[in-house]
Amino acid sequence: MRVADFFCGGGGFSEGFRQAGFDIVFAVDKWKPAVMTYKGNKPGVNVILDDIIRISNLGDEEFENLVPDSEVIIGSPPCQAFSQSNKSGNADKTIGIQLIEAYLRIIARKKFKKNSVLKYWVLENVPNSQKYIKKEYSAKDLGVEGDFILHTRNNNSGIYNAKNFGAPTNRKRFLCGDFPELEITHSDEEAVTLKAVLDSLGDPLAKTKSDICDVNYPDLILPSTEITDFHYIRELAPFEWKTAKRLKQDKGYMGKMAFPENENNPARTVMATMSSSSREAMILRYQEDRYRLPTVREVASMMSFPIDYRFYGNTMGIKHTLVGNAVPPKLSYAIAKAIARENGLDVPNKYIPIQHDSDIKFVNLNGVILSINQEKPRREVAKFKYHIPYLILNSYRVELTNYHSDFTNNKFCWDAELHYSQGKKRAAVYDFEVSLDMIDEKFRKPIIRYINKIDKKLLSFDEFQKAYCKTERQRQESGELGPFELLDDVRNFICSLMSPLEMKDKKSIINGLYELPNAIIVGYYLLQHIIKKMGGKDNGCANKETETPGVDKKG
């Protein structure tokens, strides 16, 4: 059976059909590295560099001359607009919807034309996209002539996880269109783990030459020297992994994430950008107290690409994007196998090695030496907003922020804020004066001693901003206390002051208006005191006035 692939990317969707013995006759994408990668791994396919929206609107004769007939059409319109990781799911969906409708327009033009041979079509995208794909489209909806209704959901449309089809990744995707029921090959408990991927490939810098057996395709065995984009290390600087760790394990009210990655589970969803200092960063243990990013080959195996698949990009970033934007071949193979089964077609019983196009230049990352990144100073108007680390009790946290500064005129003010929960309905910011007599008497003397000690280290608001904008190493060399160091110091003091149970014990304050954990009251008191001291060191700039006790600002 013939297959046409739209938004083909680097060829992940087509790869599953190739392995299942289908005849791929046409592919198109508008990103050159994707087209080159597709050509490099599938030399016999007519793959072109073009715009799908343009193609979908061509006149009938030009459209039919360009796009060949096929029994199967597959497509994965770019999903960035629909991804939850893009502005928390609030990104502009306009272009994403246009791309989906362009793909559906092509489907309709092939499906409802005279003597159509199209039997199956599949659209793959992130789960959130299903909200923006209508269940049916008329010819008018798609801007074409005719009197038809294109139904997008058959009985098998829905959310699928690539891990249930053998891919070592927890990657959920929405599939819709006309296709048979897919056969699940791996239960959640049987899913291939990240550890299995890493163990199969071994140490990227191993000096011994050995054969590597593909974790996804056991009959594919290659000498380690032939495994591309693998033999290098991208080690993280301490400032990178420390930032990532904080965002993963102490990010407000978002759930904790493993640091480093939990190798006993399938890999998390592979992203198109391999970030190093974000909550989504995929971080592997390198050595004791050292960490690294996965290699291109490692993430490709997580996505279930075979180890003889090549990614034709000139940079590491392009290669990671090619992998992260792809459809996992194992998921694609499940679709192809279901179609083959329904049509009584035989599927190859062993992996068919890739024959690469030798005329396409390939850049191999093996042996590249990557220096560890150096932290750069922040710009002088950098913003700061973070709570006392690892101190969120009963949904309360105490934050230090410079958000109320006049950044236009470089007049910086710092504030302590008491935050509660998150979300539009529950979140609140409380602003009231904490006095020493609100704190249990047994804690007061140690608190006074701590205040007297730290007062000597405090800077003015402007100096504090300058310290924040320096690198961690610069602050260490100068002995300055920046925002992160200050919050760490306050956290360490509170931990030395009271036991974990005492930290959680609640105390009623302001005539019973609030009932807060001891540690939150003490943390808020300390930051308020520190802010006042710092504000008193500035000329003409003080923190915002403390409001009436008991007043809270919702939202």
Contacts of 234 (CB under 8 A, 6+ apart): 292, 293, 295, 316, 370
Q: Which residue, among 436, 455, 454, has the nearest Cα to 445 in the 3D structure? A: 436
**What is the DSSP pairing of strand 2-6 with strand 72-75?**
parallel
* CA angle 376–298–312, rounded 5-degree value: 85
Q: Residue holding tokens 């033009």?
A: 109
In Å, how far are 48, 154, 179, 313, 351 from 319, measured between CA atoms?
A: 19, 35, 31, 5, 24
Q: Check if the beta carbon of residue 494 is closer than 8 Å to that of residue 516.
A: no
d(CA 532, CA 518) in angstroms, rounded, equals 21
Give the total residue count for the chain: 555
Q: Which candidate in 8, 79, 176, 413 is catalytic?
A: 79
One-character DSSP codes across 283-300: -EEEETTEEEEPPHHHHH
> Taking a C-beta distance cutoff of 8 angstroms, is the pair 491, 390 a contact?
yes
Q: Helix, strand or coil for residue 202?
A: coil
For residue 213, indicate whether it is catalytic: no
Q: What interhelical angle do 441-455 and 518-536 show, nearest 10?
A: 30
What is the Cα Rg of the chain in Å?
29
Q: Give catalytic residues, as residue numbers.
A: 79
